């Protein structure tokens, strides 16, 4: 049991160390540094991708948002190719043409981030429908935020998936904010999972800072989907410990809020659990050190690669 929890801890530390390295590279020289442009970190939300991706099959299709670095890593995309993509290198996962918000690596079942809020949900329905015809028994997983729950495209996708009993798992990462606006100001009923009943599908509110709870619910939803039972909505309650984007001054936070939410963040919580089970602190510290060393070396190697050739800018575009 401790073994699996240690593996979860490492997987979360890999994401956090990646994101902290990205933050450092992005802020060290905001205009001329290795990473430019808008970057959205998932610090604090690591348990959702780690728990969910652990139970996906390689042929399942995952669709994430611009806050998707952690999902790409949890799907197995190499950190070096992601750093290279962020820094516009030819060796990036998309040849340095996409950047932070457009990671795509279909060979890892990672069918892309998307910067249009809610746009991944209908695309996931398409992947699920295709899976029904190609005999792959693929499940499509659509990840989006609490704010996206109010997008027409997400309502349409959930209804479409429900009506056709499509194998889709809708994973809402409810971090309580849409950009700078609290979800409480945008909806009357803050329990977003309740909406599932209106579509006639199962809906669960999940402790999204607990890897084991996420794994349990995603595994269950995948089983229902593979057996022909159709989609499930999982509302994973989590917190982003960083700003909406790098540079967000977070003036909308309540006094003491970051400190409060920091006490229930997933890495600290799992660490406490492991300590209580008798795992020595030195072993847990080594997990963090290992993840940080891996990411430092991946970033260094990525930055040693040549920049993308501007002549390739129009490759992979279609109209």
Binding of ligand TPP by 179 (CB under 6 A): yes
Cβ-based nearer residue to ligand TPP, 84 or 196: 196
Binding of ligand TPP by 136 (CB under 6 A): no
Binding of ligand TPP by 147 (CB under 6 A): yes
- The DSSP result for 269-300, as a single string, is HHHHHHHHTT--HHHHHHHHHHHHHHHHHHHH
- Of 94, 104, 142, 178, the residue at the interface with ligand TPP (CB under 6 A) is 178
Binding of ligand TPP by 145 (CB under 6 A): yes
| Nearest in space to 25 (alpha carbons), one of 244, 287, 298, 251 | 298
Binding of ligand TPP by 195 (CB under 6 A): no
Question: Buried b vs exposed e over 68-79: b needs ≥16 C-beta within 10 Å?
Answer: bbbbbbbbebeb
**Kind and range of the H or E element at 168?**
strand 168-174
Q: Closest residue (Cβ) to ligand TPP?
A: 145
* 8 Å CB contact between 82 and 91: no
Binding of Mg ion by 239 (CB under 5 A): no
Shortest Cβ 36–Mg ion spacing (Å): 24
Judged by CB under 6 A, which stretch of 96-104, 174-182, 216-224, 279-287 contacts ligand TPP? 174-182
Q: Give dist(CA 316, CA 166) in Å, integer.
A: 29
**Kind and range of the H or E element at 234?**
strand 232-237
Judged by CB under 6 A, which stretch of 55-63, 112-120, 187-195, 276-284 contacts ligand TPP? 112-120
Cβ-based nearer residue to ligand TPP, 88 or 145: 145
- How far is the CA of 140 from the CAs of 60, 131, 136, 171, 191, in angstroms? 6, 9, 11, 11, 24
Binding residues (CB under 5 A) for Mg ion: these are: 145-147, 175, 177
Binding residues (CB under 6 A) for ligand TPP: these are: 67, 115-117, 144-148, 173, 175, 177-179, 244
């Amino acid at each position: 049991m401790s073994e699996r929890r240690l593996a979860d801890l490492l997987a979360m530390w890999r994401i956090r160390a990646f994101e902290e390295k990205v933050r450092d590279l992005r802020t060290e020289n905001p205009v001329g540094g290795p990473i430019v442009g808008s970057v959205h970190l998932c610090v604090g939300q690591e348990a959702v991708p780690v728990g969910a991706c652990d139970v996906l099959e390689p042929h399942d299709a995952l669709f994430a948002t611009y806050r998707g670095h952690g999902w790409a890593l949890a799907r197995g995309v190499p950190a070096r190719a992601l750093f290279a993509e962020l820094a516009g290198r030819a060796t990036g996962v998309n040849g340095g043409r996409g950047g932070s918000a457009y990671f795509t690596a279909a060979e890892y079942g990672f069918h892309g981030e998307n910067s249009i809020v809610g746009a991944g949900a209908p695309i996931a329905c398409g992947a699920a429908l295709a899976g029904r015809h190609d005999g792959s028994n693929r499940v499509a997983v659509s990840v989006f935020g609490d704010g996206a729950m109010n997008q027409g495209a997400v309502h349409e996708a959930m209804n479409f998936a429900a009506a056709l009993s499509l194998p889709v798992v809708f994973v809402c990462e409810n971090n309580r904010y849409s950009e700078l606006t609290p979800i409480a100001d945008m909806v009357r009923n803050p329990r977003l999972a309740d909406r599932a009943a209106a579509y006639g599908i199962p809906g669960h509110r999940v402790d999204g800072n607990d890897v084991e709870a996420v794994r349990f619910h995603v595994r269950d939803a995948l089983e229902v989907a593979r057996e022909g039972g159709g989609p499930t909505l999982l509302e994973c309650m989590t917190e982003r410990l960083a700003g909406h984007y790098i540079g967000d001054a977070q003036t909308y936070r309540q006094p003491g809020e970051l400190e409060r939410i920091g006490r229930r963040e997933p890495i600290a919580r799992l660490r406490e659990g492991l300590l209580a089970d008798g795992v020595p602190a030195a072993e847990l510290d080594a997990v963090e050190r290992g993840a940080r060393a891996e990411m430092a070396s991946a970033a260094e190697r990525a930055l040693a690669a040549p920049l993308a050739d501007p002549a390739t800018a129009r490759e992979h575009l279609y109209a």
